[in-house]
Amino acid sequence: MMEDDDYVIVSLGEGDNTNCWQHVGDTSYLDQISNAVENLGETFWLLNRQIHETPELAFKEYKTHDALTAYLETHRGWRVTRSAYGIETAWEAVYDSGKAGPVVSFNAEMGK
């Protein structure tokens, strides 16, 4: 984890699949995020299976793109941009609660 200005970066441990939550100051919201994700476990598992059962090559993840963006578009409050940044299979989803607080960014790659 690194702190840079107003950012706290939390990542998975390199070489393993365990979380490396390192708390610096008041980061109680990290537990809230973990709980929210945990509560979506069954929904995420179904989405994960759908993606896993239809493998696609790099920059050709059209079914994956459509599944993930369609999923987020069904949830009120999310603004989804398909084919973001000039890449057909890239996308961005933004949720603004309208409340002051931390900004959470989750960045992921489709494959290795």
Give tens-digit pLDDT for 39-61: 988 888 999 999 999 999 888 99
CA atoms of 104 and 65, how far apart (whole Å): 21
E strands, the chain, are 2-4, 7-9, 78-82, 91-95
Q: State how far Cα 47 lies from the chain centre.
A: 13
Q: Are strands 91-95 and 78-82 parallel, antiparallel or unpaired?
A: antiparallel
**Predicted confidence (pLDDT) per residue in 13-25, tens digit:** 555 555 554 544 5
Greatest mean pLDDT among 8-17, 84-93, 96-105 lies in 84-93
pTM of the model: 0.69
Question: Is the alpha carbon torsion for 82, 87, 90, 93 positive or negative?
Answer: negative
Rounded average pLDDT over 22-42: 74
pLDDT on residue 3 = 45
